[in-house]
Amino acid sequence: MSPVRPGVQIYEKINAAFQKVVTIVKRLVQLCLPFLLGIAILWWMYRGLDWSSVRDYLVHRTNWWWMAFSLVFGVLAQQVRAWRWRMSLAPLGERPRRRVCEDAIFLSYASSLVVPRVGEVMRCGTLKKYDGVPFAKALGTVVTERLVDCVVILLLTVAAFLLQLSDFRDFLSRTGTDLGSTLRRFTGTGYLVTAVCVVAAIALLLLLMRRFSLFSKGRDVLHNLWAGIVSLRGVRNLPLYLAYSVGIWVCYFLHFYTAFFCFGFTAGVLPAEAFLIFCIGTFAVLVPTPNGAGPWHFAVKTMLVLYGVAEQDAIMFALIVHAIQTLEVVLLGAYGWADLWLRGRRAAVAAQASGLSSKGKS
């Protein structure tokens, strides 16, 4: 066997180092790009804002009782999602504790603020760590959940458009607003932001599909994943599962709609109108930015303006509501982490005490 020449060894080392650098750069880009995209859109929207007016809106123009009431539905939406997830795991022979499922959901949403869409992996890993649920099985049920959610939100969006089609036309004719002139007010930058959001959402979908195909190599993983996907057939109470699936989105809508009553300028928006804005905002969140920051603001502001809300007020509504709801996600994530940590500590102390007790008896 001929010895490896020094030049070849140096080349291999340089190539290995270069590949590591490329991998690090790719990860940095994947981590930073969502933040940069969100920041760029927010900067464009709020670049001319008088920030001293934010204090006036917060102190004098916000009804905090309604804001607190809206946050209740934000908590309930995540809890219902946890209850539905627990139901889908039962046919696989897995029975995680309800509270652990809730904490895992809280953590998943909070972690997605740091790295968009990483929450799905986080919650499956949490269930494996604390209740021993196989990761691939849990991931399979998450895939099922997402498919069900897609069907539900698509049906709701179609219903929202059909409900609002005639009313929207009446609104345009009653106010003398020409949709063409409204679209002409939509600047070139606005169209560019819309195009960037669409491209980013498609890129995220392709990236997730690629990662999923790479992760799903191996017969056992594929078997567990498929078992999770078809677990819906074995759910004991399918009507309850479907009720949970609809209930999640009802809670999300109420979380959004009740916030309209926090401000006088949005309190008059009708439920059907708010429902359409909610559906469009939901699709905007698909763009990979932390909690939809940027695209969500842009979509909600645009729809509110179309329904007659002044642009300044629409911008402030999007800013304040999104900030408060994001803070709620952070606090719930912190609670979920603290609760799981305390559970782990109690379990470790109990195991240590049990070990000492068994030694004493022997």
Going by the DSSP 8-state scheme, the letter that residue 137 receives in this structure is H
Could you tell me the pTM of the whole model?
Answer: 0.78
Residue 27 confidence (pLDDT): 66
332: buried, middle or exposed (CB in 10 Å: 19+, 13-18, 0-12)? Answer: buried
Give the chain's residues under pLDDT 50: 1, 4, 175-177, 208, 211-219, 221
Residue 92 confidence (pLDDT): 83
Going by the DSSP 8-state scheme, the letter that residue 173 receives in this structure is H
Residue 29 confidence (pLDDT): 62
361: buried, middle or exposed (CB in 10 Å: 19+, 13-18, 0-12)? Answer: exposed
What is d(CA 335, CA 347) in angstroms, rounded to the nearest whole number?
18
What is the Cα 302 distance to its own chain's centre? 21
Scanning 119-264, the segments in alpha helix (DSSP H) are: 119-131, 135-175, 179-185, 188-215, 219-229, 238-257
170: buried, middle or exposed (CB in 10 Å: 19+, 13-18, 0-12)? Answer: exposed
Residue 260 confidence (pLDDT): 97
